[in-house]
Amino acid sequence: MTYDGELDIAIGLSARSKAWSNKKLKWSELVSRLGEENKTTETFKEFVSASKEDQLKIKDVGGYVGGYLRGGKRSPANVVHRQLMTLDLDFAHKDLWDDFTLQFDNAAVLHGTHKHSDASPRYRLIMPLSREVTADEYVAISRKIAGIIGIDLFDDSTFETNRLMFWPSTPKDMDYYFKVQDGPWIDADEVLNSYADWKDSSLWPTASSRFEAVDRAVKKQEDPTIKRGLIGAFCRTYSIPEAIETFLSDTYVPSALEDRYTYTKGSASAGLIVYEDKFAYSHHGTDPCGGKLCNAFDLVRIHKFGHLDDKVKDPSSKLPSVSAMEEFVRNDPDTKTTIANDHINSAKYEFAYPEHDRTQEEVVEKEVDPEAESVEWMKELEVDTRGAYLSSDANLNLIFANDPRLKRLFRQNDFDGKRYVFGNLPWRRVVKPEPVKNVDYSGVRNYLGCVYGITSSLKIDDAMALEFERNHFHPILDYLNDLKWDGIQRVDKLLIDYMGADDNIYSREAIRKMLVGAVARVMNPGVKFDLVLMLVGPQGSGKSTFIKKLGKSWFSDTFLTVQGKEALEQIQGAWLIEIAELSGLRKAEVESVKHFISKSEDSFRPAYARTSEIYPRQCVFFGTTNDSEFLRDPTGNRRFMPVDVVPNNAKKDVFMELDDEIDQIWAEAVVLYKSKEKLYLSHEAEKIAKNEQSSHSESDERKGIIEAYLERQLPDNWDSMDLYQRRDFLVDELNPKGTTPRDYVCVAEIWCECLGRNREDMDRYKTREINDLLKSMPEWEPCKTTKNFPIYGKQKYYVRKLD
């Protein structure tokens, strides 16, 4: 065997072994052991007809784990490392080996498991890794390999890091299927690097059956919030996110993905998935809750007291961790409150009717007796045979529409996509409108349960969702629609007056387009608008202050990334967004920024939604920089409108005078929008914009050299000259002057003749740089065809534009 080496594996005498022996074994020795045929005494038919328990006994001929176990204990927490990938394919096809060898030339063994047959192939795939890997690395690597082969062919539990594999065995009347391939060991780092971020478990290939199984389990599980006793009381008190925040904040941290948390003691991220805030399922290989569907009670129990169960011999009896958790819950103040409320026959009068201090949207002008107000509408509530209010949609809608402690308090903000509460709640005081907190959902559930006996969390959540939608609002639209313009024009001269910009059509149009574009983006979300006003000037000149004041409370300078969900989250609730110091970005990053700001809509799933939704853009982007040469790309800068800030030329003080004009500035912008103002520059302003873009582009000393080269007239025998003669002509001033203007040129000529470089050193990056420089020269344009050039052969080329 050409590719061999030592591996750590843990060997057990049977699946029930408590102690496993860590051994050093060569790959060739392991292959030899796996190749041994081990016949059992039963026939295939007898085996498949046996119970699962009997099947386990038959195929239990001892086994191994492809890694090192701390203390010889086969638990996820004790897997020190893995270097052997062992995966079961329970849904494979006959030609799997042929397909595998076409895809992989790596060392591998494929053998049939005890249940393997031609009619229903079942295989085990074993592959050594180039290095020892952690538990989380192992899961990421094995899932990536399985994803290449076909993730749905694999038993989803096979990726468990502490998974034991029985030594091969076959019924007495079946042939043992065994294949081996010699080759390099799988490069662990290469596989990990194939992920955008291997630690993000949401990127790991996962069989659809796994999510379906968890979904089925969630649906089959009893709603933990309606359980009786301490478990139910705890789960009514704490949703999964609240339980994590309160008790397990050092164990799990929120990830960038909604409803996902990261286990802090592992390497991977976003592996804990929350379902309906009531259940959690962990995909982290080293998590004690890994592979388990937990409610809030069990999630906290396993992490706080799970170690008490290590020495339990009879798992059917009550676990010590359960007893410890129950004692913990009995002493938890918040759970005590819930339990007390559960035993109150009528909690209605336990809630004080606070005065609803409404701000901005509503003002209570006189006190109203809530009891007198509620009598009539409560008669319409549906009741059951016991006289209790039904947990019906109709009842919940009536309650939210009429209960004086809930009525019109919950509202949806159409701008930032968040849900808000407008006024005091029975469980907490709200001084001014603020986003709904997690505790508010618990508060609503608690309130409705105590006052009305309605405890269906799903129905309450649905009713709340409808209530938010019924009472939606848009703060910027409301602000703009309430403005009345006084007829004095201010918009066009803003940059001139406050920033000291040149007074020309370009500086006037640039700010006008930005402000009208901002109005358009909220009046008609998603409208195409990708211009970015770039304020260029010294530090302290008020560039950011200018934008911030215009943006009011909807300004943001938190623009840190254009990648992933974080990028989408940072623009939510922002109307005017400042991109600071574009010059500090690499060219590739600038391209990403240009792509991001050009988008008209985003797709993501908000915190309260079950599916992703399309969100048309309601923001515009401004930029500020101290660097005059902030544009890295000599082409493709049409989005950016640079305007030089000259504080000494400013006629007004941006720090002291702008605030007084903000409302009238936006009032004028609304009028301009309604007057069908175009959202792009005029032809005359665009000419100036191109000059400004050019003057603010990063300088390249080669451009002037190339321009001089292109303007140099050529001798009549130029085409017959070799490279050295051409170079000599260009550098020797004593040579006769050329007589023929150059009409066309290729990149190779510039590289070898103008810049004097060797042709073999010209890579695609250098070629692209020269192409960009040529494209930035207005006198030259690229041809779509190729041309045969002396010395260089067929080349793409540029021609001089005709006057």
What values do phi and psi take at 601, rounded to 5? Answer: -155, 160
- String of DSSP letters for 757-782: --GGG--HHHHHHHHHHHHT-TTEEE
Phi-psi region of 150 (alpha: psi -120 to 50; beta: other; left: phi over 0): left
What values do phi and psi take at 598, rounded to 5? Answer: -85, -10
Number of neighbouring beta carbons within 10 Å of residue 63? 21
Torsion of CA 591, 595, 597, 600, to 10 degrees: 170
CA nearest neighbour of 84 among 10, 166, 172, 177 = 10
In three-state secondary structure terms, 147 is: helix
May I ask the CATH class of domain 481-695? alpha beta
CA–CA separation, 542 and 535 (whole Å):
10
Torsion of CA 282, 283, 284, 290, to 10 degrees: 50
In this predicted structure, what is the pLDDT of residue 397? 93
Helix axes 438-452, 457-470, angle to 10 degrees: 110
Q: Which residues contact 642 (CB under 8 A, 6 or more apart)?
A: 534, 536, 630, 631, 692, 693, 695, 696
Q: Where are the domains of the chain?
A: 6-194, 209-342, 348-472, 481-695, 701-800
In this predicted structure, what is the pLDDT of residue 534? 93
- The parts of the chain modelled with pLDDT lower than 50 are 340, 343-348, 353-374, 385, 584
Q: Give the model confidence (pLDDT) of 582-607 as tens digits.
A: 654 555 667 788 888 889 988 877 66
Nearest-5° angle of CA 351, CA 356, CA 362? 155
CA nearest neighbour of 239 among 276, 277, 272, 279 = 277
- String of DSSP letters for 453-489: ----HHHHHHHHHHHHHHT-B-HHHHHHHT----S--
pTM, two decimals, is 0.48
Whether residue 663 contacts residue 483, with contact meaning beta carbons closer than 8 Å, is answered with yes
